[in-house]
């Protein structure tokens, strides 16, 4: 970034939560340093994607989850192209071309293109009533569908699928979650935690088909059933595909940047082209692709600092904590919860109140934790995990609860 | 005599006596109407003047019906009394017919009231005609009886408790008075407080709680008391501290006694060597005794429970005869007995070598007298087997039937394993007890339900010859009946209806009193003829009195022998020449330590009563082997670790308590724990069965043992509302808690294996429950709590060592809760209450557990943006889903 009389030009490809965090930090910490242009594929300002499930469930409105509006950009002197995606990058000339036929020159380009929902290549995937659950458009579509449809099948028992299922259930639909694996949220939860969660959700009226591989979506124009490979046929009039997300790397790949699962970045969040950085779910850092907001924010914070001139700041990867945002169900998972390679696992279980805690320790340090039923200690455990300090003196409270780390209350 | 109003008329407060030690304290008790009772010391009772010890104070808590034997049991099935009595009488009759009356034995107890004791003695010796009636008092004061009889010609304690307060020097020998006779200890402590010149010396291998008031403690070697008192006799004699007139006119045998003493221990240095004591300390004791006309020598089991017990008693008495310090205020030898009615048993003659009422088999006139009085044609005419021999005779089949009353010989006898084997081999075992399950009851063919304290009605005699009433607070529950009743019923069924036609304890007491006075010209010390004809109403209201109380006398004589008149044929007291000898079994290379046994403060005998109360179980919940730290190091024992204690006779396992109060080379273990309450805490399995050749009292305090550490890989405890049955693998001890039983556990297997076993046990014990679990296998830590009906039913904890276990107090307290609250569920597993208040206001940031209160406080103190809140509280920094709420809270303030 060579100094010039006019501020250097920063172009941001994407307007999701990572991009927004970056813009927020830049605006606060180095407001005049860059001339900023933002391209967002979605036709609206920034919103909190994490809260989409609450919009689907009706707890919040779409307006409630908007973080910004057009005015937010203009107040900060940021040029914002809503609903305009960048289509290609001319790295030689440092110009991006957009879907509206325009172009913008940059001194530095940030890719924050996020990820796309995975679409299973199933027969019938294009029938009416089949939808992913990824953005506000999806949510608005699903909400509209709930007015006329009574049954839903959610394909995918991961975090997103369960949130979708809960939202639809809240809107009165009969919901069945179809999941390929033997237990829910297998990437975050161990089998026991998943069983607790499943039982809780079953009490809330959601049905589950586990170890269920979807063979086809059936219907004449409009979805009528989901057929499983084991022969079961689940009649439905709405299907939500929530089988995961894939980093959106098309733009980067087309531009010849180094890409594996995501756009490869180093600790400075620079891509293989130092004039281009990348943050958020489109990124692959040290072999990790993150699908959660906290790492995206951490990357945004680092990049913001670097763009503000602080070259010492680096991104060293994130430990992720997952909170299931389903009303009344407290589930928290963080770190490495599979006690492999000499890690130690300790458990506290109270099945009748649906309380389950598991911590994983490695070399006397907290490596992972799962909480079901009461997730209040999630942050405490997460902090301990991030700090990486020895925790053996806390071994019992880690399992039984933070409250037991402190001197006993005086009897009343 | 003064007469009290009938107990039940005195507004439900019953004047009775304590069920425990030989102090015989008066108790005011009133039933609480819910199965318990409140108790207080009786201020009017001369034994205690209102004081009570911890055990006595807890009497009201021992009355619950849990574990009570409420009906006769024949071969494991409940039965009615008629069937049971017929069965017992028929078996006795058949065995006597086939093998002679000596094939039947009774083994009775100092827990019996005098009336029960009297009928037992009369039935067996007088009518069944067997010689073999002995009592567990054999284990506690037979040596004192024998020593008394050798010196005085009668089994008579000369003094009175007041002498302990009047003395200038109290020498406590082999007596942990502070724990075993706490009220006497309190009386001495109070007297010493009032008269600081008063001195107390404790002669005991152990430094016990009694040493708290001692001016001098002599930790002598086990069994060396004879040397110490022989040396004292010589010292007193050689320094001229002699009551020449008393010796000349009222005693015989001094020269021989002096000669015997001089032969073994000619000087203080020799005594010191014998006893393993510093010569200066021995000399100080001797000087103090020489100076103190008013000297009382109190002795108890440390003297009696020895193969030289009788000699020890006489060595002590010799010093009092020499100085004439006997039977006068503030002086005398003073045997304090262990049991509430050991003395009553001695009075009725319920020892195998006694006949009745201070009459013995060695006097044909006495035999004839008793035969005539009882009109008992089959009267036994010779001494029977004393306890150890009695159980040996059961083992050999010489004795075919035994009736055990109110005692637990499978636990309390030395070489207890042999006693168990003998009872297992016995043709017919009858056990009368008030509890269903004891180590001995497990071996019985017939169980007979006895009345317990609070139901019994009769008299007891304490250590100062004071006879007091024990009165009932309530009727006996279920089919429980007094022992005298069951005995009389057997007597009737055997054809002696007339001889056992008792309608109540007053009938028996009068007969006992009449026998004491029968043809008694004063040669027999025990004479209570004054109360031989009292009506039942006077018996009910009988005030405590000391014997002798001859007909026509005032009954105010407090002390005996002060006038030099003894009960020997020539009326002279006897010096007994005694020679010190070590315990029968010396420590050897293979068994290098000497095991001593004794009581704990808050437990009584085999814990059938005290083991029922949480309060008394809290003091020493498990049996501990006390070991000097040097010995612990030498034998690889760790404090609080487990020790295997082994002798030639058997083995036990206990936790180790290292303490410098233990004499090096010796270890100490409590006598109380049973096979019902522990896996291997029955110390008498280890104890040698040698006995004093004269008294037959076992040497319970000197057994050579070896000790070794027991390797355990886990420890733990279980708390359970219902009693649990453990199999005998590993280590376990049951402890009574409030609303629960606690089981202290340890074992050799991996924690996970122990856990699986406990899980199975708990699953079987509490079939329907919510299970809470805490498992940390990497460090071997396992816990579970079982809830049902909102209440904690069972909780269990396992860890590789004590550091991994929580305090027992917190979870134990939850058994008293009507309902376990959600917040307490994890407290059960943690073993304690949580710390900081959980009340942070409604949670806003779920990820970081930040409540609304904290956020509002942060905003109030300067946080103006979500970023600032995130930096201060971490709120909103993980998933961000609470950011809208944070903004709303910020906006609300702005």
SS3 per-residue string spanning B848-877: CCEEHHHHHHHHHCCCCCHHHHHHHHCCCC
β partners of residue A81 = A39
Q: How far apart are CA B745 and CA B732, in angstroms?
A: 4
What is the chain A residue with the closest CA to B788?
A: A352
Q: Which of A325, A348, A379 sits opposite B874 (nearest CB)?
A: A379
How distant, in Å, are the alpha carbons of A85, B131, B652, B805 from that of B401? 105, 13, 29, 48
- Among the listed residues A142, A96, A110, A108, the one whose alpha carbon sits nearest the alpha carbon of residue A21: A110
Same domain, B251 and B373: no
From the candidates A348, A356, A387, which should be mutated to test the interface with B, based on the most B CB atoms within 10 A? A348
- Give the residue carrying structure tokens 């979805």: A223
* Residue A136 CB neighbour total at 10 angstroms: 17
Q: How far apart are CA B760 and CA A53, in angstroms?
A: 44
Same domain, B228 and B327: yes
Label residue B801 exposed, middle or buried (CB < 10 Å: 0-12, 13-18, 19+).
middle
Task: Please enumerate in sequence order all residues whose Cβ is within 8 A of that of A124, keeping only pairs 6 or more positions apart, or say none.
Answer: A130, A216, A217, A218, A219, A223
pLDDT at residue A323, rounded to an integer: 79
- Cβ–Cβ of B850/A379 closer than 8 Å? yes
pLDDT at residue B2, rounded to an integer: 40
B47 in a structural domain: no
- Cβ–Cβ of B846/A323 closer than 8 Å? yes
Kindly report each contact of residues B528-537 with a partner whose C-beta sits within 8 Å and lies 24 or more positions away, as own/partner.
Answer: B528/B467, B530/B1, B530/B555, B534/B506, B534/B510, B535/B506, B536/B504, B536/B506, B537/B3, B537/B6
What is the helix (H) or strand (E) element at residue B247, kind and residue range?
A: helix B244-250
Q: How far apart are CA A299 and CA A49, in angstroms?
A: 17
Query: How far does the CA of residue B893 sit from the closest CA of chain A (Å)?
Result: 19
pLDDT (tens digit, 9 = 90+) per residue, B651-672? Answer: 999 999 999 999 999 999 999 9
User: Residues 843..872 of B with a Cβ closer than 8 Å to A: which?
Assistant: 843, 845-850, 867
- Cβ–Cβ of A408/B850 closer than 8 Å? no
Q: What is the mean pLDDT of residues B411-420?
A: 97
What residues in B contact A347, CB-CB < 8 Å? 773-776
Q: Are A354 and A336 in contact (CB under 8 A)?
A: no
CATH 3.50.50.60 domain extents, chain A: 9-115+246-307, 130-241
Q: Which of B286, B316, B335 is the last residue of a domain?
A: B335
- Among the listed residues B276, B302, B190, the one whose alpha carbon sits nearest the alpha carbon of residue B664: B276
Pairing of strands A206-209, A174-178: parallel
- Among the listed residues B799, B592, B861, B571, the one whose alpha carbon sits nearest the alpha carbon of residue B703: B592
Q: Which of A346, A351, A401 sits opposite B834 (nearest CB)?
A: A401
- Asked if B838 is an interface residue toward chain A (Cβ–Cβ < 8 A), one would say yes
Identify the residue with better confidence: B834 or B810.
Answer: B810
Same domain, B756 and B857: no
pLDDT band of B1, cuts 50, 70, 90: very low
Q: Which of B710, B731, B749 is the last residue of a domain?
A: B710
Q: Are B258 and B237 in contact (CB under 8 A)?
A: yes
Both ends of chain B: CA-CA distance in Å? Answer: 93
Same domain, B278 and B345: no
CATH number attached to the domain at A130-241: 3.50.50.60
B147 in a structural domain: yes
Q: Give chain A's count of helices (H) and strands (E).
A: 10, 25
Q: What is the mean pLDDT of residues B453-460?
A: 96
ipTM: 0.84
Same domain, B183 and B330: yes
A330-405 folds as Enolase-like; domain 1 (3.30.390)
- Rounded to two decimals, the pTM is 0.88
Query: How far does the CA of residue B615 sit from the closest CA of chain A (Å)?
Result: 21
B207 in a structural domain: yes
B585 in a structural domain: no
Same domain, B809 and B757: yes
Residues composing chain B: 894
CATH code of the domain containing B635: 2.40.40.20
What is the chain B residue with the closest CA to A392?
A: B779
Residue B178 backbone class (left: φ over 0; alpha: ψ -120 to 50; beta: rest): alpha
Q: Look up the domain containing B737 and give its range.
A: 714-830
Query: How far does the CA of residue A310 sit from the closest CA of chain B (Å)?
Result: 19
Q: Which of B335, B357, B373 is the last residue of a domain?
A: B335
Q: Are B687 and B700 in contact (CB under 8 A)?
A: yes
- Among the listed residues A227, A224, A115, the one whose alpha carbon sits nearest the alpha carbon of residue A160: A115
CATH code of the domain containing B880: 1.10.10.1100
pLDDT (tens digit, 9 = 90+) per residue, B730-774? Answer: 899 999 999 999 999 999 999 999 999 999 999 999 988 999 999
Task: Please enumerate in sequence order all residues whose Cβ is within 8 A of that of B582, keeping only pairs 6 or more positions apart, or say none.
Answer: B223, B224
Task: Please enumerate in sequence order all residues whose Cβ is within 8 A of that of B384, keeping only pairs 6 or more positions apart, or say none.
Answer: B102, B105, B130, B131, B132, B133, B134, B352, B353, B390
pLDDT band of A360, cuts 50, 70, 90: very high
Same domain, B223 and B98: no
Q: For chain B, how many structural domains are there in total?
A: 5
B555 in a structural domain: no
- Cβ–Cβ of A400/B832 closer than 8 Å? no
From the candidates B774, B814, B879, B883, which should be mutated to test the interface with A, based on the most A CB atoms within 10 A? B879
CATH 3.30.390.30 domain extents, chain A: 330-405
Same domain, B701 and B778: no
pLDDT (tens digit, 9 = 90+) per residue, B307-344? Answer: 999 999 999 999 999 999 999 999 999 999 988 999 99
Query: How far does the CA of residue B770 sit from the closest CA of chain A (Å)?
Result: 6
* Highest CATH level, class, for A9-115+246-307: alpha beta
pLDDT at residue A309, rounded to an integer: 93
Q: Does A4 score more than 50 pLDDT? A: yes
The alpha carbon of residue B536 and the mean position of all alpha carbons in its chain are separated, in whole angstroms, by 33
| Angle (deg, nearest 10), helices B225-238 and B268-275 | 170
- Cβ–Cβ of A325/B881 closer than 8 Å? yes
B868 in a structural domain: yes
Identify the residue with better confidence: B293 or B846.
Answer: B293
Same domain, B631 and B681: yes
pLDDT (tens digit, 9 = 90+) per residue, B854-879? Answer: 888 889 888 988 889 988 888 888 77
pLDDT at residue B761, rounded to an integer: 92
Same domain, B484 and B431: yes
- Give the residue carrying structure tokens 């689907």: A56
């Amino acid at each position: 970034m060579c100094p010039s009389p006019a501020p250097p030009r920063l172009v941001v490809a994407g307007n999701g939560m990572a991009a927004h965090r970056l813009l927020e930090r830049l605006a606060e910490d180095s407001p005049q340093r860059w001339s900023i242009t933002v391209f967002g594929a979605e036709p609206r300002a920034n919103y909190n994607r994490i809260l989409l499930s609450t919009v689907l469930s009706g707890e919040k409105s779409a307006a409630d989850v908007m973080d910004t509006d057009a005015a937010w950009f203009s107040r900060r002197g940021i040029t914002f192209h809503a609903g305009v995606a960048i289509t290609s990058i001319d790295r030689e000339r440092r110009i991006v071309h957009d879907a509206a036929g325009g172009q913008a020159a940059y001194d530095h380009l940030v890719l924050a293109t996020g990820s796309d929902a995975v679409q299973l290549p199933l027969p019938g995937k294009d029938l009416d009533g089949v939808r992913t659950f990824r953005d506000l458009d999806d949510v608005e579509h699903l909400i509209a569908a709930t007015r006329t449809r009574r049954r839903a099948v959610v394909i995918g028992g991961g975090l997103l699928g369960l949130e979708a299922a809960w939202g639809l259930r809240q809107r009165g639909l009969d919901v069945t979650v179809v999941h390929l694996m033997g237990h829910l949220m297998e990437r975050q939860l161990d089998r026991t935690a998943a069983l607790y969660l499943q039982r809780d959700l079953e009490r809330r009226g959601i049905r589950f088909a586990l170890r269920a591989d979807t063979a086809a979506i059936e219907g004449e124009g409009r979805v009528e059933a989901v057929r499983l490979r084991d022969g079961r046929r689940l009649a439905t009039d709405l299907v939500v595909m929530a089988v995961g997300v894939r980093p959106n790397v098309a733009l980067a790949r087309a531009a010849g940047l180094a890409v594996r699962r995501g756009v490869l970045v180093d600790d400075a969040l620079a891509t293989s082209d130092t004039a281009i950085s990348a943050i958020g779910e489109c990124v692959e850092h040290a072999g990790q692709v993150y699908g959660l907001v906290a790492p995206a924010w951490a990357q945004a914070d680092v990049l913001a600092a670097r763009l503000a001139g602080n070259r010492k700041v680096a991104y060293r990867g994130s430990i992720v904590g997952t909170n299931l945002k389903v009303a009344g169900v407290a589930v928290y998972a963080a770190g490495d919860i599979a006690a492999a390679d000499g890690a130690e696992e300790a458990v506290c279980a109270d099945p009748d109140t649906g309380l389950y805690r598991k911590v994983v320790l490695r070399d006397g340090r907290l490596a992972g934790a799962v909480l079901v039923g009461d997730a209040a200690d999630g942050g405490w455990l997460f902090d301990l995990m991030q700090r990486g300090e020895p925790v053996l003196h806390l071994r019992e409270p880690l399992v039984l609860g933070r409250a037991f780390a402190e001197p006993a209350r005086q009897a009343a | 005599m003064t007469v009290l109003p009938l107990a039940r008329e005195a507004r439900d407060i019953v004047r009775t006596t304590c069920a425990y030690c030989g102090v015989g304290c008066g108790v005011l008790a009133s039933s609480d109407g819910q199965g318990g009772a409140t108790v207080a010391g009786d201020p009017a009772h001369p034994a205690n003047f209102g004081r009570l010890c911890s055990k006595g104070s807890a009497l009201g808590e021992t009355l619950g019906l849990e574990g009570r034997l409420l009906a006769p049991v024949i071969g494991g099935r409940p039965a009615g009394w008629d069937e049971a009595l017929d069965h017992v009488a028929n078996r006795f009759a058949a065995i006597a017919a086939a093998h002679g009356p000596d094939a039947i034995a009774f083994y009775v107890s100092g827990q019996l009231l005098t009336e029960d004791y009297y009928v037992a003695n009369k039935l067996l010796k007088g009518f069944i005609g067997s010689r073999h009636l002995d009592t567990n008092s054999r284990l506690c004061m037979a040596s004192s009886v024998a020593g008394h009889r050798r010196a005085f010609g009668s089994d008579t304690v000369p003094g009175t408790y007041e002498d302990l307060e009047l003395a200038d020097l109290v020498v406590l020998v082999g007596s942990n008075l502070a724990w075993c006779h706490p009220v006497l200890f309190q009386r001495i402590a109070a007297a010493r407080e009032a008269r600081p010149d008063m001195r107390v010396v404790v002669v005991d291998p152990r430094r016990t709680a009694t040493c708290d008031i001692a001016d001098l403690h002599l930790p002598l070697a086990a069994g060396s008391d004879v040397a110490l008192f022989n040396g004292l006799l010589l010292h007193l004699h050689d320094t001229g501290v002699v009551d020449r007139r008393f010796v000349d006119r009222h005693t015989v045998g001094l020269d021989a006694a002096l000669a015997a003493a001089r032969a073994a221990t000619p000087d203080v240095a020799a005594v010191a060597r014998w006893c393993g004591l510093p010569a200066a300390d021995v000399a100080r004791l001797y000087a103090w005794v020489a100076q103190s006309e008013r000297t009382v020598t109190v002795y108890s089991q440390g003297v009696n429970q020895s193969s030289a017990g009788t000699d020890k008693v006489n060595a002590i008495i010799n010093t009092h005869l020499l100085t004439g310090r006997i039977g006068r205020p503030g002086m005398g030898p003073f045997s304090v007995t262990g049991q509430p009615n050991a003395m009553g048993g001695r009075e009725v003659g319920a020892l195998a070598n006694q006949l009745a009422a201070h009459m013995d088999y060695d006097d044909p006139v006495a035999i004839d007298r008793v035969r005539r009085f009882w009109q008992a044609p089959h009267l036994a005419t010779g001494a029977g087997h004393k306890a150890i021999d009695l159980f040996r005779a059961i083992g050999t089949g010489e004795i075919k039937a035994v009736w055990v009353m109110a005692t637990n010989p499978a636990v309390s006898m030395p070489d207890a394993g042999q006693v168990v084997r003998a009872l297992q081999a016995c043709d017919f075992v009858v056990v009368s007890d008030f509890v269903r399950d004891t180590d001995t009851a497990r071996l019985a063919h017939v169980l007979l339900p006895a009345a317990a304290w609070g139901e019994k009605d009769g008299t007891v005699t304490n250590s100062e010859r004071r006879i007091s009433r024990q009165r009932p607070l309530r009727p006996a529950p279920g089919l429980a009946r007094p022992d005298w009743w069951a005995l009389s019923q057997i007597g009737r069924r055997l054809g002696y209806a007339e001889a056992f036609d008792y309608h109540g304890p007053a009938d028996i007491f009068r007969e006992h009193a009449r026998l004491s006075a029968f043809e008694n010209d004063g040669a027999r010390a025990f004479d209570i003829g004054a109360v031989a004809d009292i009506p039942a109403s006077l018996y009910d209201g009988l005030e405590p009195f000391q014997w002798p109380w001859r007909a026509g006398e005032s009954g105010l004589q407090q002390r005996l022998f002060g006038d030099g008149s003894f009960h020997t044929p020539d009326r002279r007291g006897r010096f007994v020449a005694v020679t010190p000898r070590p315990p029968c079994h010396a420590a050897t290379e293979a068994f290098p330590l000497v095991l001593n046994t004794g009581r704990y403060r808050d437990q009584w005998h085999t814990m059938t009563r005290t083991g029922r109360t949480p309060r008394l179980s809290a003091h020493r919940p498990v049996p501990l082997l006390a070991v000097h730290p040097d010995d612990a190091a030498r034998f690889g024992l760790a404090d609080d670790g487990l020790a295997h204690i082994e002798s030639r006779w058997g083995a036990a396992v206990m936790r180790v308590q290292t303490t410098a109060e233990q004499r090096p080379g010796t270890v100490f273990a409590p006598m109380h724990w049973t096979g019902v309450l522990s896996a291997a805490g029955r110390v008498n399995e280890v104890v040698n069965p040698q006995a004093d050749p004269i008294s037959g009292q076992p040497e319970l305090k000197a057994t050579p043992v070896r000790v070794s550490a027991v390797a355990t890989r886990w420890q733990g405890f279980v708390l359970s509302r219902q009693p649990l049955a453990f199999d005998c693998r590993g280590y376990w001890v049951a402890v009574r808690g409030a609303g629960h039983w606690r089981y202290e556990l340890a074992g050799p297997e991996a924690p996970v294996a122990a856990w699986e076993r406990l899980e199975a046990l708990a699953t079987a014990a509490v079939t329907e429950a919510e299970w809470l679990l805490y498992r940390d296998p990497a460090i071997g830590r396992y816990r579970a709590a079982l809830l049902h009906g909102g209440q904690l039913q069972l909780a269990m904890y396992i860890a590789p060592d004590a550091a991994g276990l929580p305090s027992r107090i917190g979870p134990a307290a939850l058994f008293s809760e009507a309902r376990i609250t959600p917040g307490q569920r994890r407290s059960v597993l943690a073993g304690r209450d949580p710390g900081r208040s959980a009340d942070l206001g409604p949670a806003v940031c779920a990820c970081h557990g930040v409540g609304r209160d904290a956020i509002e406080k942060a905003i109030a103190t300067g946080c103006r943006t979500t970023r600032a809140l995130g930096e201060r509280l971490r709120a909103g920094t993980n998933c961000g889903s609470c950011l809208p709420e944070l903004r709303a809270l910020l906006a609300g303030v702005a």
